[in-house]
Amino acid sequence: MAGLATGQGLGRPFLYPPGSSIGPTREKDMMKELPLPSVTSSAWEDGYLPKACYDVARNAIPAMTSADFEVRNLRFSDCSLGSWAVCRHKGSGASWDLITGALGRIPVGMRQDFANLIVLTDAHGCAFVTGGPSIVVSRGCLTVGVLAHEGSHILDCYTLLPLVRENGYPDQCYSSTNMWLGAYKKDSYVVTTYANTNQLENFAEVGTFALSHFTHPGGLGAYASNWTKISNQMGNYQARLENIMLPESGRCTHKVPTTPAVNFNGEAASKRDVESAEMKAFKREDKCNLSK
């Protein structure tokens, strides 16, 4: 996850090495088993984009401009409280069907805390979380598993922040508190080599495996029996987040708003401009072709 200090590696043995078949198998199963709510799409008016997208464009290496993006609001049927403004780099090669298929399969209780999704070319790395909180992801990394990993960073450092504060910690990520570290210390393994980077990445890697554990028949035990070597970490994640990620109603409880609309120069859009753009997008909604 870019933008966060890595610190020293954890140095633990891991369950699944790079190239392990469990990753592709889990991804295939998540695409098949996780429900995909219906979606309507509406294009933003040319000349405007969410500030998170503008900031990414301004700071990107290789360089890009705001005009390199097209923006659509995606409104999923499991959340009437808001839509997801998605910025797609025109050269990314990612179809809107691919984007909605991955984003929509993220459980609504996790997805509701994504401000924006920003899809870049593969030249811009894999994925990270930026302010908003928003997720930036390349075409080659646009999978349910990667979004669940980045979404777990948001759960860790944003969604669980009230709990962290209630337990007497300053503003910090849940994975840096003893509420998490106590469970970590009871296990002797981490889930993947990347989890060894630091506790932020360890928590996020547990999160992407937790999605399979919560939703796949038989949980992780259906894939491998050795997952019990991280059972305390998995149990902690489950106790804190399963009911948040998978609300009983199957619907969002809120929607983190998109970052403010700005023009291509980064200037805040006026209320009139925003309302005009939204109305034009609404009128175009039924005409959008997600297959492109």
Write out pLDDT tens, residues 90-142.
999 999 999 999 999 999 999 999 999 999 999 999 999 998 899 999 999 99
pTM of the predicted structure, to 2 decimals: 0.91
Q: Is residue 274 part of a domain?
A: no
Q: Is residue 287 part of a domain?
A: no
Q: Is residue 140 part of a domain?
A: yes
Contact 120, 56 (CB under 8 A): yes
Contact 37, 78 (CB under 8 A): yes
With H, G, I as helix, E, B as strand and everything else as coil, classify residue 88. strand
Q: Is residue 13 part of a domain?
A: no
> For a pLDDT cut of 70, what percent of the chain falls above it?
90
pLDDT tens-digit readout, 7-57:
359 999 999 998 899 999 999 999 999 999 999 999 999 999 999 999 999
pLDDT, the chain, mean: 92
State the DSSP string of 209-261. Answer: HHHHHHHSTTGGGGT-GGGGGGHHHHHHHHHHHHHHHS-TTSS-S--PPPPPE
Q: Is the peptide bond before 18 cis (omega within 30 degrees of 0)?
A: no
User: Of 47, 13, 45, nearest to 266 (Cα)?
Assistant: 47
Place of tokens 């200037």: 267
Q: Is residue 3 part of a domain?
A: no
pLDDT tens-digit readout, 269-288:
876 566 555 545 544 443 33
Range of the domain at 66: 19-269
> For a pLDDT cut of 90, what percent of the chain falls above it?
86
Q: Is residue 74 part of a domain?
A: yes
pLDDT tens-digit readout, 233-283:
999 999 999 999 999 999 999 999 999 999 999 999 876 566 555 545 544
- 85: tokens are 């403004």
Q: Is residue 104 part of a domain?
A: yes
Q: Is residue 281 part of a domain?
A: no
Q: Is the pLDDT of residue 292 over 60?
A: no
pLDDT tens-digit readout, 159-183:
999 999 999 999 999 999 999 999 9
CATH number at residue 202: 3.40.390
The confidence score (pLDDT) of residue 270 equals 76
Domain total of the chain = 1
Rg (CA), the chain: 19
